[in-house]
Amino acid sequence: MWVSLSEVNFLLWLKYFEEEKRSQVGPFFGWLNAWLKPYPDTIGLKTMVHLRDNGIRPYIELEPTVHPLAIEQRAGITVERVAEIYSLMMHQEGKSPLTR
């Protein structure tokens, strides 16, 4: 997942990204910069990027809106929904599921 940060936040993120203990830094405001099918356009959704300790990838928190991806992130999804998303993403007729 790609998130766009301001230059100031990006430089802070870079400064601490290799640190083992970094979760105290941030969070950083950003814009989601990826279209995640099968959701309606996700580019430009507001996010907060939370660094995590011990080399774990950052947690991307979407702003709580009515966008289906934001709702599912907050509320969680069923196993059936996971299967539905998997099926939709794996049957894109040769297209990458992360591109238009």
- On whether residue 16 sits in a domain, the answer given is yes
pTM of the model: 0.79
- On whether residue 99 sits in a domain, the answer given is no
- On whether residue 53 sits in a domain, the answer given is yes
- Of all residues in the chain, what percent carry a pLDDT higher than 90? 73
Give how many domains the chain has, as a whole number: 1
Nearest-10 Cα torsion for 18, 21, 25, 26:
80
- On whether residue 37 sits in a domain, the answer given is yes
- Do residues 62 and 42 lie in contact, with contact meaning Cβ atoms separated by under 8 Å? no
Q: What is the mean pLDDT of residues 55-71?
A: 95
pLDDT digits over 7-52, tens only? 999 999 899 988 999 999 999 999 999 988 889 999 999 999 999 9
pLDDT digits over 70-97, tens only? 999 999 999 999 999 899 888 765 555 5
Structural domain for 16, as ranges: 3-90
